[in-house]
Amino acid sequence: MEELANGILQVLNLETILWIALGEVLGIILGALPGLTATMGIALMLPISFQLSKATGMALLLGVYCGAVSGASIPAILLGIPGNPNAIATVYDGHAMTQKGLAGQALGGAVVASFIGGIASLLLLVLFSPLIARFTLLFGPAEKATLALVGLTIIASVSAENLAKGVLTGSMGLALALLGTDPFTVALRIPFPDLLAKTPLTSGIKLIPALIGLFGISQALSDLERIREGYLSPQQIRIEKVFPPLRKIARMWRIIVESTGIGALIGAIPGTGASIAVFLSYERAKKITSSRRSKLERVGTGCLEGVMAPEVANNAVTGGALIPALSLGIPGDSSTAVLLGALLIKGVVPGNQLFTQELSLVYAIFFSLFLSNVFMLTFQLMGVRIFPKVLSVPMAMLIPVIIVLSLIGSYAIEGQAILSAIFDMGVALFLGIVGYFLKKGGYPIAPIVLGLILGGMLEENFRTAVKLAGGDYFVFFTKPIALAFIVLAFLSVGLTILRTGRNR
């Protein structure tokens, strides 16, 4: 009880509340701008969160996360262009409603749906993450090493159309994670050690510059390709009657419940992400509304039901994706990978240790997520006529600002040591360029981040497990949980190969 009060108090202070509010507004703006993703927004805010306390920093990032996921519905509804992949399915009915003159109700419905999805998934997060975290008490080095392997294989297999590309970028992330110094012997592990021994590379590739480069700079470079198209400005659209009728929402209970379940479940499966959840929930809502007995409007005809289903699901992903991140240290999607990175940088180890030794921080995270959802509802409803104006911000101005913010953000992490800080800017730029070309070639970049995050965990536990087993490499097959993880890893890879083969 004392931990709960402590956790709430860590959030219920003016400073943290203001940071959540700022994060929320920034998130909505970033989410609303087509091409700028939630992951990018969180990555850009990482350096600022690094300067704040653990709870306040996480609260800021969660604010950005919630805001960006829900803000993506604005261009989807008004322009028919999703702000980011979270709102792909909102386009169909949302934009059709705008064309019918019901833009206000579509925007309002999306916000209410986002709130419902966010709060419902938060409840699931509160309920399940401590249980799963308790399960990790049974984990020794062998189990942890195979868990890292599961994380790597699952994200590699589902984040790309092509398994091999996911494996390649995932192993690239691992290779980067292994640079620097051997964790056990402190021996240098860098190329050209005679030349580079006195450079900041000896400390390895830091996570924040890598994340900023991969998600911030690479995205900005990709957006530069679209700069000649000019900027998107919604035509004069009248926005009236924002709040959807409560009776209508109540009638949609089945769609809401199922979409929440789909969103939270898909979110909790590492590597899946909101884009899958929104399509599944949209299709499910289509089935529900097309039954003869249904009194609801048919999804696909430009109705509120078709907006609510994907919007409930994409915000339900937020809580769902945090379940494996907080309890196992395996992120549910690329956004939670960055959130996880923020925790790791602050020295917080996810899993049972987090839920026993830093329980107040866990409560602070839960409460921040709750407040973020409340702020999202309030700001989006209040600013329903203001936020669409964000679409008029020219990309010509925005992209340079994002690039400079990414560089200075990377610099700020080692803000007192100028040389290291400049090196970090170089890392961010280098990985930004690499990420840009990889994306152009159809390679997923999320596995690189997973490799970077899980690389250390994999190596430390792999070596410890083998050493404790007296040099026996079969130790991973003799422990039931480790064996189950290996089977899961093989299954995820095998199923992907089968699925790809069938699609061909």
Partner 1 sequence: MRRAIPRVFILISIFYLIFAFSLEERRMIGDERGWDPGSRALPIGTGVIMLATSIYLTLREKPAAESPEKLDEGSARLILLTIALTVFYILLFRTTGFILSTNALLFTLIYFNYRKGMEWHMVPGFGLGFVLSSGFVLLIYSLGRFITRSLVLYGKRSDLELFSGKLFTSGVTVVILALIFLATLFISGKITRSAEGKYIRISALTAPAVTEILYLVFKQIFLVRLAKGLITW
Residues contributing to the site for partner 1 (CB under 8 A): 48, 51, 164-165, 167-168, 171-172, 174-175, 178, 182, 184-185, 187, 189, 191, 221, 224-225, 227-228, 394-397, 399-401, 403-405, 407-408, 411-412, 415-416, 418, 421-422, 425-426, 429, 433, 437-438, 440-443, 458-459, 462-463, 466-467, 469-471, 473
Output the CA–CA distances (angstroms, integers) from residue 432 to 139, 220, 336, 337, in the order listed: 36, 9, 19, 17
Instruction: Return d(Cα 271, Cα 285) in angstroms, integer.
Output: 24
Q: Which is nearer to partner 1, 149 or 369 (CB)?
A: 149
Instruction: Return d(Cα 263, Cα 89) in angstroms, integer.
Output: 13
Q: Which is nearer to partner 1, 296 or 395 (CB)?
A: 395
Q: Which is nearer to partner 1, 306 or 432 (CB)?
A: 432
Task: Give residue 82's region: left, alpha or beta (phi > 0; psi -120 to 50).
Answer: beta
C-beta neighbour count of 74 within 10 angstroms? 31
Upper half-sphere CA count for residue 283 (Cβ side, 13 Å): 8
Residue 64, classified by CB atoms within 10 Å of its CB into exposed (0-12), middle (13-18) or buried (19+), is: buried
Q: Which is nearer to partner 1, 391 or 407 (CB)?
A: 407
Q: How far is the CB of 146 from partner 1 (least distance, A)?
A: 14
Tallying the residues shown for the chain, one arrives at 504
Q: Which is nearer to partner 1, 272 or 461 (CB)?
A: 461
Residue 185, classified by CB atoms within 10 Å of its CB into exposed (0-12), middle (13-18) or buried (19+), is: exposed
Nearest to 108 by CA among 385, 314, 393: 385
In sequence order, what are the residues at sequence separation of 6 or more whose Cβ sits closer than 8 angstroms to the Cβ of residue 467?
A: none
Q: How far is the CB of 283 from partner 1 (least distance, A)?
A: 29
Instruction: Return d(Cα 120, Cα 113) in angstroms, integer.
Output: 11
Residue-wise burial string across 378-398, b where 16 or more C-beta atoms lie within 10 A, e elsewhere:
ebbeebbeebbebbebebeeb
Residue 263, classified by CB atoms within 10 Å of its CB into exposed (0-12), middle (13-18) or buried (19+), is: buried
Q: How far is the CB of 178 from partner 1 (least distance, A)?
A: 5
Upper half-sphere CA count for residue 213 (Cβ side, 13 Å): 25
Q: Which is nearer to partner 1, 401 or 498 (CB)?
A: 401
Q: Return the C-alpha torsion angle 71, 72, 73, 74, nearest 10.
A: 70
Residue 502, both tokens: 């069938």
Q: Which is nearer to partner 1, 276 or 421 (CB)?
A: 421
Residue whose entry in the numeric block shows the structure tokens 């800017």: 425
Q: How far is the CB of 459 from partner 1 (least distance, A)?
A: 5
Q: Which is nearer to partner 1, 308 or 448 (CB)?
A: 448
Let me know: does 263 contact 255? Beta carbons within 8 Å.
no
Q: Which is nearer to partner 1, 308 or 398 (CB)?
A: 398
Q: How far is the CB of 210 from partner 1 (least distance, A)?
A: 16
Instruction: Return d(Cα 326, Cα 329) in angstroms, integer.
Output: 6
H or E stretch covering 181: strand 180-181
In sequence order, what are the residues at sequence separation of 6 or more whose Cβ sits closer than 8 angstroms to the Cβ of residue 90?
A: 72, 73, 76, 77, 82, 110, 278, 307, 310, 311
Specify the DSSP class assigned to residue 465. H
Q: How far is the CB of 68 from partner 1 (least distance, A)?
A: 20
Q: How far is the CB of 107 from partner 1 (least distance, A)?
A: 29
Q: How far is the CB of 106 from partner 1 (least distance, A)?
A: 32
Q: How far is the CB of 165 from partner 1 (least distance, A)?
A: 7
Q: How far is the CB of 85 from partner 1 (least distance, A)?
A: 19
Q: Which is nearer to partner 1, 128 or 443 (CB)?
A: 443
Q: How far is the CB of 242 from partner 1 (least distance, A)?
A: 31
Q: How far is the CB of 163 from partner 1 (least distance, A)?
A: 9
Q: Which is nearer to partner 1, 381 or 469 (CB)?
A: 469
**Beta-bridge mates of residue 36:** none
Q: Which is nearer to partner 1, 136 or 461 (CB)?
A: 461
Q: How far is the CB of 186 from partner 1 (least distance, A)?
A: 9
**Beta-bridge mates of residue 181:** 188
Q: Which is nearer to partner 1, 179 or 491 (CB)?
A: 179
